[in-house]
Amino acid sequence: MAEESAATFELTLNGERQIVDNAPTTTTLLDHLRQSGFVGTKEGCAEGDCGACTVAISAEDAGGEGQYQAVNSCLLPLAAAADRHIITVEGIARSELHPVQKAMVDGGGSQCGYCTPGFIMSLFAAYYAGNVDDRALEGNLCRCTGYLPIRRAAASLGRPAEDDPFTVTLDGLSPRLPERTYRYDGQAFFRPADLRSALQLLQTYPKATLIAGATDLGVEINKHRRRFATLISLEAVKELQGVTETDGHLRIGAAVPLSHLESVCQGIFPALDEMLRWFAARQIRNRATLGGNLGTASPIGDLSPVLLALDAEVEVAGPAGGRRIDIASFFTDYRQTALEPGEIIVGIHIPKTPPPGTARRISRSYKVGKRGTDDISIVAAAFTVDLDEGGTVVQARLAYGGVAATPVRAEGVEAFLTGKEWTLETVSEAKTQLFEAFTPLSDLRGSAGYRRLLSGNLLEKFYQETRTEADR
């Protein structure tokens, strides 16, 4: 990737081409919109929970076609919006109200109106994707209207007409992002298109911050007022895209948005399906990636326990070439990983074939938080138990988040289970051992004792919920 000096970039805002030439790379899209006079988009929580900042952007769907995606503009660095089409609530009404707006008005779905633009834009994106349902309303909080009128408005929506102007516009867009360089006042933003260029940039700027969806970075900008001198965006790197099957493994590109996995991986790994359901909200899943979730190395990351329970491997690339790291060895300390300087997470490999001697596999994941969705977990757990024909445990994987400085497996308890008959008596003994297996911290979300109790209780819940499946 040529490092040309680029003091400007372009985006399209509500159908009008804009040239950006005077903004720091970490100005958020939300701030840019409001400074540009599009004040229907609001700031509420500034961390992607409330939805008041929701807009629609042009992006790729899981099949590589163009679509409108609902995203949190408060979390998106402005430079990451380069070359995209951005649509706000002001831009969807032409000569008359958009069908989504009209449905909301007719159904009495707005009182104070502060949250309404977010609901409107989430429904707008779902309307053109053909998946308007309750889940399309995720990530939008309403404190005065009540959700029933909003849900009724959503349920009343049909499908767009073939000559709908937004459908026509979308059909004419290329969903692929070109490489991009933008510099402003000592800051730099790079968006390479291939892995070689990304690795070269990281060699040149070893202190650069890597981003994909930038959902964590947005919180750092908003809540901690952090500024980043150099950003390298990986979302256009072709080697980090796609979901493929090879050698009995499913390979998930590190930059594949989580919302794509909901459809592409559906039914392959039940534990992954379940955890994706509770992972943040649609706006976050449209941007967040598996590589980013692993790279942050959060001890309460929702997806790390799932990957631990599925014996995943992390594919990385660096100056010395590529290698794979067993997920159990990937997390080395609090917020620390086994990545060497200059290495990038390229993909995640999940084996589809259980170990020899397995007749049945049972696998689930669980998340306990203050809220059911759109919240940080107190404890997250994922379990995979492989049984032989007689119901004896061939292999067990018990993985947790929120009970240690890193996502972790209960290896001692796994060893105890191996070779035992999968019964309530066995699980009860394992539950007792789990209470002593971890030394979690107490914080505002939950005490250490509560977390220890959860680690065992979730295993028993797993046993009770899957008893009929294990008996097949």
Q: For residue 419, is pLDDT > 90? A: yes
- Residues listed for the chain: 472
Evaluate the CA torsion angle 114, 117, 122, 127 in order and state its sign.
positive
Q: Is the pTM of this model over 0.85?
A: yes
Please report the pLDDT score of residue 404 as a whole number.
Answer: 95
Where does the pLDDT of residue 434 fall: very low under 50, low under 70, confident under 90, or very high at 90 and above? very high
User: For residue 362, is it left (φ>0), alpha (ψ between -120 and 50) or beta?
Assistant: beta
CB 253 within 8 A of CB 347: yes
Q: What is the pLDDT of residues 135-146, one digit of tens each?
A: 999 999 998 999
Strand pairing partners for 316?
A: 323, 345
CB 280 within 8 A of CB 48: yes
Quote the CA–CA distance of 316 and 38 in Å, as a whole number: 41
Q: What is the pLDDT of residues 393-403, one digit of tens each?
A: 999 999 999 99
**Average pLDDT score over the chain:** 94
Where does the pLDDT of residue 1 fall: very low under 50, low under 70, confident under 90, or very high at 90 and above? low
Quote the CA–CA distance of 232 and 190 in Å, as a whole number: 5
Residues of the chain with pLDDT > 70: what percent? Answer: 98
Residues of the chain with pLDDT > 90: what percent? Answer: 90
- Nearest Cα neighbor of 294 from 375, 388, 410, 210 is 210
Q: What is the pLDDT of residues 17-51, one digit of tens each?
A: 999 998 999 899 999 999 999 999 999 999 999 99
Please report the pLDDT score of residue 471 as a whole number.
Answer: 59
The DSSP string of 297-354 is: T-TT-SHHHHHHHTT-EEEEEETTEEEEEEHHHHEEETTEESPPTT-EEEEEEEE-SP
The more confident residue out of 26 and 390 is: 390
The DSSP string of 179-204 is: PEEEEETTEEEEE-SSHHHHHHHHHH
Q: For residue 4, is pLDDT > 70? A: no
Q: What is the pLDDT of residues 307-358, one digit of tens each?
A: 999 999 999 999 999 999 999 999 999 999 999 999 999 999 999 999 999 9
Q: Domains in the chain, ordered, with CATH?
A: 9-171 (3.10.20.30), 180-233 (3.30.43.10), 242-472 (3.30.465.10)
Where does the pLDDT of residue 374 fall: very low under 50, low under 70, confident under 90, or very high at 90 and above? confident
Please report the pLDDT score of residue 246 as a whole number.
Answer: 80
Strand pairing partners for 363?
A: 384
